[in-house]
């Protein structure tokens, strides 16, 4: 019996077992014994709060009032967090992560009830918090400083711990609909039963949304001339033609006349030189994927005897995505040799090969080009808790998780057949024929990229009191952990003459991690000692040793101090080191490799690095991406210092201020904005170590590697490289960008976090005020280890220095109304593009403020059994439908890392308890 079958069978049993609880709810609750422990984030010691660390809490009440309705966005809305590469909007709706401080979602550790889960994703492995049903979340605890001394790898920027709901009797079901540029429908709920010494709970969810075409977002179209950008439908020899196609000879682009399948004459083609019919492929692509998701969670706990209990947690998630991908079907390069029956005679270079750029998508509109991804994740854990003598406690945990993912499952242009299909009449394909034709189906290949990832994790910990001191009890926690990760990748394609699947990549990786950790809590002063200016003074110290079978070992300490001078002020500080080991994907170059011919902006004015397309100021280069062997773990040193103030005169007011500083070395990341490497002398000075100048000789023949500059041969023959379809002439290449994922230098960041919370009761109802503001004081980066640091504060692609969120809520009986404002500060777009041969100057991107509103009513005390325990809610994100600022960088005019491009979002929700 499979693990999935066991989990689903448990859920079915739960549904049967819970039904008598609904009829006997009151009687059962009188005998309930709460056996589940309260999870505390940021410490391994039972019964104490994290010492010295800044924490942020999102309560169940906050979750209900928040406009966000996915686990990732709950955290992304915090000023201490970032949307850079994390939200469903910025990832196109596939997977989401969590990114504290803008340091990357792999630098934030995501936990569920204090436990790791198997990572999700294919080419980029992350912990997707949307793994569990939204209704299962009781609260979220965020630690905003490093915590590797407690948890090990990934806890560099902090820890986000999703605490799931405790066992309860009864049932609760929620339905919601979301309307924006897409429509989404969701149902989720929980059902449970408790008994003396035990409990069982099941949470389940289903949601489905449709897709958003790229053309629905005008600032994501290819033709951006209305925004001051380029018409990206034609850049050099990269052309997106209409239904008639285009013809390429060398570096020249020709339009093709309307015909009935006959070979056009040279005169009609020459008349259309540089003027092909163009089509915006944004009409053929989806920006936000259609998605259907099922998630389930089962929690069972049982007291074996007083002081001893066992628990089981199972999480199952199935995510299916479907979106129009295309992958080159709108510009298939059909090669014509001089002996082809479709060769256009009388054109320049009469002995050269010609290329027809054929728009398969427009000519064959009924052929699916959808990318269909499927990811199935299962996590199961058993934990055991036993009280030991002298108030010590043993905790043991064993977990197993597996993710099976078809990361990329899609049709793909069979470039092998495209090179021969028009040269042999047996293929029955005419590149000049408009409309569907049976012979064109040979161009449709397939690509499958499947990942299997497994995690086995075991932890044992003992904690309890060591001895007493005048201020209280010194407590300790110590334990060990062993983890094993395995990864399998199998990629197949049909890029051959037979159209049969062949293995293009097969690789596997594994890792074992052995760890030991300890933490001690020491109270130095308490209130009863009457020490002047010290009501309480507590110290914690933790250390963890991790030994990786493939990445060496590391030791990370952390020290925290909390000082309460009186009952109004609290002062805290912490220091520690953290690290992140490369994921199994990142550390294996056979998993991801992409080497493409691309056009890049060239603003160097260097004759040795010439501009090859004067109309756009661009040059053709070979750009390498993907993973790199021998990556080292990242490491970081983190300081934090803060204070909290709760005045006696206003006990419902709470103010907080935190200063933090992160020094992050050996960052594993893609070479940032690598296609801008030649855009300016300043950029080139910073990144020239990653550029290899390589002009092609005059004797170069496109496609004949023996005639190329030898510098290209190692890259073109790399067994780990995959090439996307391209119409760029190799003889126009001027160099190589040696990019991809690398250990890229250092990041130093420091900043301040402000928080304010206040509740005020009036005869009309209760008002609640909340505000938080994060200010980055300094953000510097170096591209290479030991290289010069340069300022990236408030520049494109990095965290914005000013982020804030403030809101007011009104509560009266079952009525709750709230209004929130979100502020993202201004920054500079220094990654501007070249238009009409001139690079645009750096641009000031204005600040962006949007408002969210919510209204709900809880019919807790209603007399009607239909209305009783019913909650109705309406939430609106971006109430005034404010457009994002225009950011011209790359091939779009919006920065989805900072601005949500989907406009106003309505959510209507009902929740019913039974």
Q: Cite the DSSP H helix spans in 563-699.
A: 681-687
Q: What share of the chain is helix, strand, coil (3-state, %, to 5)?
A: 15, 50, 40
pLDDT band for position 891 (50/70/90)?
Answer: confident
Least-confidence region, from 173-182, 420-429, 859-868:
859-868
Q: Of the given ranges (32-41, 47-56, 309-318, 507-516), which has the lowest mean pLDDT?
A: 32-41
d(CA 58, CA 772): 13
Residues near 481 by Cβ (< 8 Å), separated by ≥ 6?
152, 457, 458, 459, 460, 513, 514, 515, 516, 517
**Coil, strand, or helix at residue 195?**
strand
Q: For residue 80, what pLDDT is reported?
A: 83
Most confident region among 500-504, 643-647, 798-802 by mean pLDDT: 643-647
CA angle 587, 590, 592 (to 5 degrees): 80
Across 792-899, the runs of DSSP E, i.e. the strands, are 802-812, 815-824, 827-829, 834-835, 838-839, 843-845, 848-858, 870-877
Identify the pLDDT of residue 92. 58
pLDDT exceeds cutoff 50 at 23: no
Q: Decide: 312 and 300 in contact? Cβ < 8 Å.
A: yes
* Mean pLDDT, all residues of the chain: 88
CA distances from 520 to 268, 390, 464, 667, 723 (A): 83, 17, 10, 31, 54
Tokens of 592: 């991801």
CB-CB contact of 342 with 336 (8 Å): yes
Residue 457 in tokens? 């994790």
Name residues whose C-beta falls within 8 Å of residue 57's C-beta, 6 or more positions apart in sequence: 139, 140, 141, 142
**Alpha helices by DSSP H, 609-724:** 681-687, 713-716
Residue linked to tokens 């929620």: 174
- pLDDT value of residue 196: 92
Q: In what order do the strands lie in the sheet with 246-249?
A: 252-255, 246-249, 354-358, 332-336
Q: Vertex 518, ends 513 and 522: CA angle to 5°?
A: 160
What residues contact 171, with CB distance under 8 A and at least 6 apart? Answer: 18, 22, 189, 190, 191, 192, 913, 914
| Angle in degrees, CA 632, 408, 493, rounded to 5 | 105
pLDDT surpasses 60 at 500: yes
- Amino acid 725: pLDDT: 67
Q: Work out the average pLDDT over 760-772.
A: 94
Neighbours of 351 (CB within 10 A): 5
Strand partners, 768: 759, 809
pLDDT at 7: 37
Q: Give residue 742's pLDDT.
A: 85
**158-164 and 108-112 beta bridge pairing:** parallel
Q: DSSP characters for 531-554? A: BTTBSEEEEEEEEEEEEETTTEEE
Query: Which token pair is 37?
Result: 């422990």
DSSP character string of 729-746: -GGGEEEEEE-SEEE--E
Residues 6+ apart with CB under 8 A from 662: 101, 103, 146, 156, 157, 636, 637, 638, 747, 748, 749, 750
**Spatial separation of the C-alpha atoms in residues 316 and 172, rounded to whole Å:** 20
> What is the CA angle 875-908-298, rounded to 5?
100
Classified as helix, coil or strand, 27 is: helix
Range in 295-304, 596-605, 771-780 the model is least confident about? 596-605
Q: What is the spatial distance between Cα 659 and Cα 644, in angstroms, rounded to a whole number?
A: 12
Strand 569-580 to strand 552-564: parallel, antiparallel, or no bridges (unpaired)? antiparallel
3-class state of residue 2 by DSSP: coil
Compute the distance between CA of residue 556 and CA of residue 544 in angstroms, rounded to an integer.
5
Measured CA to CA, the distance from residue 806 to residue 793 in angstroms comes to 23
Give the per-residue pLDDT at 837: 75
Report in angstroms the alpha-carbon separations of 488 from 102, 294, 485, 506, 741: 30, 24, 10, 8, 20
Quote the CA–CA distance of 15 and 169 in Å, as a whole number. Answer: 12
Residue 609 has pLDDT above 90, yes or no: yes
- pLDDT exceeds 60 at position 738: yes
pLDDT band at 124, cuts 50/70/90? confident
Could you give the CA distance from residue 313 to residue 295 in angstroms, rounded to a whole number? Answer: 13
Q: What does the pLDDT read at residue 168?
A: 85
More confident residue, 282 or 676: 282
Residue 832: which pLDDT band, with cuts at 50, 70 and 90?
confident
Whether 5 has a pLDDT exceeding 50, the answer reads no
pLDDT at residue 253 in the model: 95
Query: Could you tell me the two tokens for 787?
Result: 């290289």
State pLDDT tens for residues 163-218: 998 888 999 999 999 999 999 999 999 999 999 999 999 999 999 999 999 999 99
3-state DSSP call for residue 271? coil
Burial class (CB in 10 A: 0-12, 13-18, 19+), 663: middle
Nearest to 385 by CA among 37, 32, 42: 37
- Cα 436 to Cα 130, 281, 326, 487: the distances in Å are 42, 18, 17, 42
Q: Where are the beta strands (DSSP E) in 566-712?
A: 569-580, 593-601, 618-626, 634-645, 653-665, 668-670, 691-693
Give the residue from 141, 51, 136, 65 showing the smallest Cα distance to 100: 141
- Per-residue confidence (pLDDT) for residue 907, from 0 to 100: 95
User: For 348-373, what is the mean pLDDT?
Assistant: 91
User: Between 117 and 95, where is the model more confident?
Assistant: 117
* pLDDT value at residue 315: 96
Q: Which DSSP category does 889 fall into?
A: B
pTM of the model: 0.85
Segment 431-490, tens digit of pLDDT: 999 999 999 999 999 989 899 999 999 999 999 999 999 999 999 999 999 999 999 999
Give the distance between the most distant pair of CA atoms in the chain: 101
Task: Give the model confidence (pLDDT) of 545-576 as tens digits.
Answer: 999 998 889 999 999 999 999 999 999 999 99
- Rounded Cα distance, 82 and 798, in Å: 10
Burial of 357 (0-12, 13-18, 19+ CB in 10 A): buried
Cα–Cα distances (Å) from 835 to 239, 614, 902, in that order, read 17, 10, 27
Percentage above 70 pLDDT, the chain: 94
Sign of CA dihedral 711, 717, 720, 725: positive
pLDDT for 39: 62
The stretch 659-675 carries a mean pLDDT of: 87
855 with 819: CB under 8 angstroms? no
Distance of alpha carbon 393 from alpha carbon 596, whole angstroms = 57
Instruction: With a cut of 50, say whether residue 18 has pLDDT above it.
Output: no
């Amino acid at each position: 019996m499979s693990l999935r079958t066991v989990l689903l069978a448990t859920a079915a049993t739960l549904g049967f077992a819970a039904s008598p609880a609904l009829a006997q709810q009151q009687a059962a609750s009188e005998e309930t014994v709460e056996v589940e422990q309260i999870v505390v984030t940021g410490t391994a010691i039972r019964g104490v709060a994290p010492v010295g660390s800044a924490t942020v809490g999102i309560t169940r009440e906050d979750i209900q009032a928040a406009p966000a309705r996915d686990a990732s966005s709950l955290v992304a809305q915090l000023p201490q967090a970032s949307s850079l590469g994390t939200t469903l909007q910025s990832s196109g709706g596939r997977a989401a992560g969590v990114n504290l401080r803008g340091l990357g979602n792999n630098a934030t550790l995501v936990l569920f009830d204090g436990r790791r889960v198997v990572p999700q994703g294919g080419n980029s492995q992350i912990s997707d918090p949307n793994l569990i049903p939204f209704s299962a979340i009781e609260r979220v605890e965020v630690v905003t400083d490093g915590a590797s001394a407690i948890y090990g790898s990934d806890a560099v920027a902090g820890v986000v711990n999703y605490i799931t709901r405790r066992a309860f009797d009864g049932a609760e079901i929620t339905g919601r609909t979301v309307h924006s540029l897409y429509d989404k429908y969701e149902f989720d709920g929980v059902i449970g039963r408790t008994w003396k010494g035990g409990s069982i709970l099941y949470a389940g969810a289903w949601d489905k949304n449709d897709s958003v075409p790229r053309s629905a977002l005008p600032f994501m179209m290819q033709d951006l001339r209305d925004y001051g950008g380029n018409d990206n439908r034609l850049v050099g020899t990269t052309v997106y033609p209409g239904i008639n196609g285009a013809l390429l000879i060398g570096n020249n682009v020709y339009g093709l006349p309307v015909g009935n399948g006959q070979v056009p004459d040279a005169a009609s083609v020459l008349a259309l030189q540089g003027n092909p019919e163009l089509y915006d492929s944004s009409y053929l692509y989806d920006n936000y994927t259609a998605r259907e998701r099922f998630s389930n969670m089962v929690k069972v706990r049982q007291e074996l005897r007083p002081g001893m209990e066992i628990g089981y947690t199972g999480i199952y998630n199935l995510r299916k995505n479907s979106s129009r991908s295309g992958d080159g079907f709108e510009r298939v390069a059909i090669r014509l040799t001089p002996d082809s029956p479709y060769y256009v005679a009388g054109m320049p270079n009469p002995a050269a090969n010609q290329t027809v750029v054929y728009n398969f998508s427009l000519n064959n509109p009924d052929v699916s080009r959808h990318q269909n991804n499927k990811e199935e994740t299962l996590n199961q854990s058993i934990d055991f808790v036993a009280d030991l003598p002298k108030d010590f406690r043993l905790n043991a945990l064993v977990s197993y998780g597996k993710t099976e993912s078809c990361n990329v499952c899609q049709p793909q242009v069979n470039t092998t057949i495209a090179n021969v299909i028009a040269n042999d009449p047996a293929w029955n394909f005419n590149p000049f024929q408009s409309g569907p034709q049976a012979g064109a189906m040979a161009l449709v290949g397939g690509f499958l990229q499947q990942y299997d990832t497994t995690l086995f994790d075991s932890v044992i910990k003992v904690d309890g009191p060591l001895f007493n001191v005048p201020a209280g009890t010194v407590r300790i926690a110590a334990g060990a952990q062993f983890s094993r990760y395995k990864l399998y990748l199998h990629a197949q394609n049909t890029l051959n003459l037979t159209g049969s699947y062949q293995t293009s990549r097969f690789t596997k990786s594994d890792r074992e991690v052995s760890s030991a950790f300890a933490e001690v809590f020491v109270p130095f002063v308490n209130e009863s000692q009457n020490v002047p200016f010290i009501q309480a003074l507590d110290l914690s110290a933790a250390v963890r040793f991790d030994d990786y079978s493939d990445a060496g070992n590391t030791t990370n300490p952390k020290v925290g101090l909390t000082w309460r001078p009186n009952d109004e002020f609290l002062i805290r500080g912490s220091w520690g080191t953290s690290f992140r080991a490369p994921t199994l994907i990142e550390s294996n170059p056979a998993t991801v490799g992409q080497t493409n011919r691309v056009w890049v902006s060239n603003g160097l004015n260097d004759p040795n690095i010439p501009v090859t397309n004067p109309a756009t100021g661009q040059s053709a280069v070979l750009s390498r991406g993907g993973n790199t062997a021998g990556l080292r773990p990242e490491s970081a040193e983190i300081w934090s210092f803060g204070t909290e103030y709760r005045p006696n005169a206003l006990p419902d007011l709470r103010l907080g201020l935190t200063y933090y500083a992160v020094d992050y070395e050996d960052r594993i990341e893609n070479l940032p904005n690598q296609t801008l490497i030649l855009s300016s002398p300043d950029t080139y000075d910073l990144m020239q170590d990653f550029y290899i100048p390589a002009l092609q000789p005059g004797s170069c023949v496109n496609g004949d590697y023996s005639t190329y500059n030898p510098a290209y041969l190692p890259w073109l023959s790399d067994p780990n490289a995959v090439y996307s379809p391209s119409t760029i002439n190799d003889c126009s290449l001027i160099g190589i960008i040696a990019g991809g994922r690398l250990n890229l230098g250092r990041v130093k960041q420091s900043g301040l976090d402000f928080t304010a919370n206040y509740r005020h009761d009036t005869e009309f109802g209760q008002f609640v005020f909340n505000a938080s503001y994060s200010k980055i004081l300094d953000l510097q980066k170096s591209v290479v280890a030991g290289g010069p640091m340069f300022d990236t504060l408030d520049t494109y692609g990095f965290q914005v220095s000013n982020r804030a969120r403030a809101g007011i809520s009104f509560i009266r009986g079952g009525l709750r109304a709230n209004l929130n404002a979100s502020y993202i500060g201004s920054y500079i777009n220094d990654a501007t593009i070249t238009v009409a041969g001139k690079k645009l100057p750096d641009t000031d991107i204005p600040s962006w403020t949007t408002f969210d509103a919510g209204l709900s009513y809880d019919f807790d005390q209603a007399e009607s059994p239909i209305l009783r325990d019913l909650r109705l809610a309406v939430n609106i994100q971006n109430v005034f439908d404010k457009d994002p600022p225009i950011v011209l960088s790359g091939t779009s005019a919006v920065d989805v890392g900072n601005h949500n491009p989907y406009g106003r979002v309505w959510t209507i929700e009902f929740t019913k308890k039974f």
